[in-house]
Copies of this chain bind each other. A is one copy, B any other.
Amino acid sequence: MSKVKCDMAMSLDGYVTGLNQSLEEPFGEGVGQRLHRWMFEEAERHSEVLDDITAAGAFIMGRNMFGPGRGAWDLEWTGWWGEEPPYHAPVFVLTHHAREPLEMKGGTTFGFVTEGIEAALAQAREAAGDRDVAIAGGAATVNQYVAAGLIDELRLHIAPVILGRGERLFDGVGEIELRPVGDPWGTDLVTHVTYQVVR
């Protein structure tokens, strides 16, 4: 059965990005790889987690995650990831500004959805078939899906750092009960904990 899942790297104080994201600092001022060191420095030990993140049949992301622009599209912008993005699957970008689909190398196609989160999820489910749908981020998008009760599995990768500022997971989602799934585990650089949202 296909699931809607969401993997988020976050600080121990709940931030998934810092402040003032920019081209030079996509995770915000001074954050660099602090939330993602485990991915780079210990990729082998976390290979199952990493493989699973990229194994989804379709992805959904907010416009903020697709690029730094706002308002009307700069059609030169094709995402942060170069010619061959790491998704290798359809990616649905939530936006208020319509845009033609953008076919990249390696099987990634960016589609632009102006009808909201439920429409994007319906399109992603159809595109994914019997594979999972991944809510890729950022915080505002994930929080909308959490608040709407649309995520089956929330997989947190908690880095042992306190950022103190930025965009917070769970901001404004209201009171929610979750249930841990499986056993938490980790290394010096990350603790993995998976939750099911109790509806």
What are the interface flags for A122-166 relative to B under an 8 Å C-beta threshold, 1 for contact and 0 otherwise? 000000000000000000000000000000000000101111100
Question: With A170-B13, A170-B162, A174-B164 in contact, is A191–B180 under 8 Å at CB?
Answer: yes
Q: Which of A59-67, A102-110, A182-190 contacts B (4 or more CB under 8 A)?
A: A182-190
Chain A count of residues within 8 A CB distance of the other chain: 31
Tell me which residues across on chain B come within 8 A of A164, comparing CB atoms.
170, 172-175
Q: With the chains together, A180 CA to B158 CA distance in Å?
A: 10
Contact at B175–A162, with CB atoms within 8 Å? yes
Contacts of A161 in B (CB 8 A): 175-178
Chain B residue numbers with a CB within 8 Å of A186 are 180, 183-184, 193
The residue in A30, A158, A160, A168 that gathers the most chain B C-beta atoms within 10 A of its C-beta is A160
Chain B CB within 10 Å — which of A162, A176, A179 has the most? Answer: A162
Does A57 have its Cβ within 8 Å of any Cβ on chain B?
A: no
Please judge, given known A-B contacts A185-B183, A185-B184, A187-B180, whether A160 and B195 are in contact too, CB under 8 Å.
Answer: yes
A-B CB proximity, top 3 nearest: A160-B178, A184-B184, A162-B176
Q: List 14 A-B contacts (CB under 8 A).
A: A12-B178, A13-B14, A13-B168, A14-B14, A161-B175, A161-B177, A164-B174, A180-B186, A180-B187, A180-B188, A183-B186, A184-B184, A184-B191, A186-B193
